[in-house]
Amino acid sequence: MASGLEEVTVLSTRFLRSPRVQGALKYESPYWRSLAANRIQVAWRYRKKRLSRADSAV
């Protein structure tokens, strides 16, 4: 029983260290999705503000 549990633990930690698995978890996670959406919105607002300043300066 203990050896089986140890084997599963080793395999799962190796599995979770994989960059592809971490990327998939981030993509599916509501926390990471909302964080990405927030960053996109901030970048978009910054871009709009910068473009409006450039238009008013001309």
- Per-residue pLDDT at 45: 95
Contact (CB, 8 A) for 22 and 16? yes
- Per-residue pLDDT at 39: 94
Residue ranges per domain, the chain?
A: 2-57
Which residues are within 8 A (CB) of 16 and not within 5 positions of it... i.e. 6 or more apart?
22
Give per-residue pLDDT as tens, 25-51: 888 889 888 988 999 999 999 999 999
Q: What is the mean pLDDT of the chain?
A: 86
Give the model's confidence band at 22: pLDDT under 50 very low, under 70 low, under 90 confident, else very high.
Answer: confident
Q: Residue 33: left (phi > 0), alpha (psi -120 to 50), or beta?
A: alpha
Q: Which two tokens stand for residue 1?
A: 């029983």
pLDDT of 23 higher than 80: yes
Closest residue by Cα to residue 32 from 20, 40, 45, 46: 40
